[in-house]
Chains A and B, each alone.
Chain A
Amino acid sequence: MAKRILTVFFGLFLLFLYGPMFGIFILSLQGPDGALTFPVRSFGFYWLGNVFQEQRVGSFVESFQRSFWLGLLVVAIALFISVLGSMAFRTKFKGSRALFYLTISSLVVPGVLISLGIGITFQVLKIQTNWFSSGLGAHLTWTVPFAFLIMLGVFNRFNPFYEEAARDLGANDIATFKEVVFPLIAPSLIGVALLGFTLSYDEFIRTSLVSGQYNTLPLEIFGMTTNVTSPALYALGTLTTLFSVTLIALGFGAYRWLSR
């Protein structure tokens, strides 16, 4: 009985979680006479195509490209840092506790503080803010902690005997990493990369003040919310959500298939 009630509750929760998103999916599949609210007037792909045309508020394609390259850059740096960092944490070292708490604080500090802090720093130092400098830094404060925590879990389950065996056979540290450690953690790295990419791709608050002259995609969309009053907004939301969900599915898949 209790289980049945909980099953119903879980179903309602999923409806709460996904229902609104499906609403805008449906509304974005309308013809030219479509509006922002139900009911759906006619079916068509007019608004999805509309996304790729020049918008009054700016171009979606360019901001997508910016977000895409920024995501790749963020992932590359975050992977490098978090693999090294999580390997450092396999042995006890002075200051490890402090670094651990610093990493956690980066995650829990209100995002608006990161944005304001980096913005003020660049202003005082008289450096121009840009998505690939200040924006990149802001994204790292969000993605590196996640990548680090996942890698910490990966190395917790990692058997150190493999490395000792390699070392006994005469391999130095770099050879051991290249031939033994890296192939074993590679599947997890693919997962971390895809999840890290979506975190960066969808990040808004931390970037909002420090992206400089050119907007990333979430900033562009936020700008559109005040100017665009057609289903083009929903169409853009649908496309970018589908893009994220595909990457997430691939990320989770990479974990499960490759780490078997």
Chain B
Amino acid sequence: MYKAWKTFQPYLLATPQTLIFLMFLVFPITMIFIVSFWEFNGYAMTPAFSFANYVNVFSSKVSLSTYLNTFKYVVLVWSACVAIALPIAYYLAFCIERDSVRILLFLICTIPFWTSNIIRMISWIPLLGRGGLVNQALLTVGLVQEPVEWLLYSDFAIVLGMVHLFNFFMIAPVFNSMMRIDRSLITAARDMGASGFEVLKEIILPLTAPGLAIGTIFVVTLTMGEYVTVRLMGGGQSASVGKLISTQIGSLQYPLAAANAVILLLITLVLVAGILRVVDIRKEL
């Protein structure tokens, strides 16, 4: 009797979690998939089985260039996040000697992540705007004669904003991987005459790869669906798939938005599957 209860127990414990994700993740995404084949007659959607929405997406120059633009953001944001995360995580993991200082500095890096994304984006406006602090400084020093226009409401601002929001998702897993590296490996390599650069290339980078992979998954998926930053920092002209979807929802074209969402999801899944093939991340968790 007790044994039967013991085997049954984990299923009972896992039920609420399973139900929540079935209700608010699996079912809604299934609905997106179904509705992506429905028709839209100008004011309401009607059940159907039509590929018109997909044809619409793939035949439209605007939506294709929107997808390309989104990939551009992904590549730029990802590169910048890696370029920031590697030195920062390395500094925390290997240059700080005291454990308590290390934890404190790491926490300082994570705090902004828990605060509002919208406020964090708004706070760039007084810095980057036409009359902002950066332009005032440039004008005073005499580097430019006219205020620089591309600092805000531009692709530059969008990428800057996303790097500001998402760098935490790269730093945390990379730092985690680096902290797991056995320090005696590095001592051994040094004893055998490896230079600092060789230690970095032969030991630290390969062992950091799983962390980089997890960070990449987060940064890529977050950037793919992002539209708040594109709205606030891009100022109207810039396009991304997330913003496209939200605009289509705004005009009630749910089936078209759903088709775009399915395509976005498929691209994301392919990217994640590709990353998981290269690196085994299960050990990291």
Contact = CB atoms under 8 A, between A and B. Distances in A.
Contacts of B124: 20
Interface stretch (A7-15, A46-54, A182-190): A7-15
A234 interface: yes
B16 to A, nearest CB: 5
A77 B16 CA distance: 10
Interface in A93-115: 93, 95-96, 99, 102-103, 105-106, 108-114
B261 A112 contact: yes
A144 interface: yes
A116 B21 CA distance: 15
Given A108-B218, A109-B265, A110-B224, A85 B91 contact: no
Interface in A189-246: 195, 198-199, 202, 204-205, 208-209, 218, 221-222, 225, 233-234, 237, 240-241, 244-245
A169 interface: no
Contacts of B6: 91
Interface in A107-138: 108-114, 116-121, 123-124, 137-138
Given A113-B265, A124-B35, A205-B228, A105 B14 contact: no
Contacts of B222: 110-111
A65 interface: no
B10 A88 contact: yes
B75 interface: no
Interface in B1-26: 6, 9-18, 20-21, 23-26
B21 A103 contact: yes
Interface in B102-141: 105, 107-109, 111-112, 114-120, 122-127, 129, 131-133, 136
Contacts of B21: 99, 102-103, 106, 141, 144
B131 A240 contact: no
Contact of A116 (B88, B111, B249): B249
A252 B107 contact: yes
Contacts of B225: 109-113, 205
Contact of A37 (B24, B115, B132, B167): B132
A38 B133 contact: yes
A112 B227 contact: yes
B217 A108 contact: yes
Contacts of A37: 126, 129, 131-133
Given A23-B133, A36-B126, A225-B122, A102 B265 contact: no
Given A38-B133, A106-B21, A221-B118, A84 B112 contact: no
Query: Does more than half of chain B's interface fall in helix, strand or loop, or is it mixed?
Result: helix
Q: Which residue among B12, B95, B123, B228 has the maximum number of chain A CB atoms within 10 Å of its CB?
A: B123
Nearest to A199: B114
Interface string A71-100: 000000100111011011111010110010
Interface core residue of A6, A9, A77, A234 (most chain B CB under 10 Å): A6
B154 interface: no
B115 A245 contact: yes
Contact of B14 (A10, A27, A99, A208): A99
Give the bracket for the number of chain A residues in contact with chain B. 35 or more
Contacts of B122: 24, 225, 233-234, 237
A21 interface: yes
Contacts of B114: 195, 198-199, 202, 244, 248
Contact of B87 (A6, A38, A85): A6
Contact of A244 (B95, B107, B115, B125): B115
Interface of B: 6, 9-18, 20-21, 23-29, 31-32, 35, 84, 87-88, 90-92, 95, 105, 107-109, 111-112, 114-120, 122-127, 129, 131-133, 136, 164, 167, 196, 217-218, 221-222, 224-228, 232, 242, 245-246, 249, 254, 257-258, 261, 264-265, 268, 272, 285
14 contacts: A10-B105, A17-B167, A36-B129, A108-B221, A109-B221, A116-B254, A117-B28, A117-B31, A121-B31, A141-B25, A204-B116, A205-B226, A218-B117, A248-B115
Given A21-B112, A138-B24, 11 more contacts: A6-B87, A6-B91, A17-B167, A81-B16, A99-B18, A109-B265, A112-B264, A114-B24, A205-B228, A218-B118, A241-B119
Interface of A: 2-3, 6-7, 9-10, 13-14, 16-21, 23-24, 27, 36-38, 77, 80-82, 84-85, 87-91, 93, 95-96, 99, 102-103, 105-106, 108-114, 116-121, 123-124, 137-138, 140-141, 144, 148-149, 152, 173, 195, 198-199, 202, 204-205, 208-209, 218, 221-222, 225, 233-234, 237, 240-241, 244-245, 248, 252
